[in-house]
Amino acid sequence: MTLKELFRKIKNIEFINEKQFKKELEKVIDKEQLKELLESQLFAKLDISEDEFKSKFTLLSELSLVEINKLSGTIDNKIISKVLKLRKLGLESEIESAIKKLVNTQQRHINTLTNTTQIAISRAITIDKADEEDKFKYVGSQFNARSFCRTILNQTFTKSEIKDLNNGQNLPVEFYGGGYNCRHRWVKVKS
């Protein structure tokens, strides 16, 4: 099942009352199936199997799967609240466009997670191959960069110093740099 098929089913749920609607919605939205759908989209875009990803990048895979769980949890909550609100206001005709908007938003979140994970894998490989005393330079554009990134841009750090950095987003800097969609990277400095 695709996200679009899922939302088509949601649109067709008959609204009798809020309690009944939520019950019917739970029949349509299988949280585990939704989580699997999001995971399969992520791994298809990464061009890596889930098992390979988990074995090579344990911490990174745990962080990505946590984000997928958050996404799958917010999707059904947003759908419930949006559909209930529109039905209460008598705006059933707007449900389809509201669901499409939610689908597009969630697709952008999946794309952000995918792009962020792809570059995180690249950073993880770079850092993982290095010895503890190797040094890395944080490189990339200053244009539209986060303040964290601008602060450390073009500076050199050891592996352990990188692990001690804090980007303010509770994401390991060695993998995520400044955070989601960060375009900067670690380049090993020749001794």
Chunked mean pLDDT (size 10), the chain, 191 residues:
64 66 68 67 66 68 72 69 78 77 78 83 83 92 94 95 93 92 93 70
pTM over 0.85: no
Residue type, 146: R
- Burial code of 115-134, b = ≥16 C-beta within 10 A, e = fewer? bbbebbbebbebbeeeeeee
Q: What is the pLDDT of residue 8?
A: 67
Q: What is the pLDDT of residue 13?
A: 67
Q: What is the pLDDT of residue 62?
A: 73
Q: What is the pLDDT of residue 131?
A: 85
Domain boundaries, the chain: 3-128, 135-189
Q: What is the pLDDT of residue 95?
A: 75
181 — phi, psi (to 5°)? 60, 15
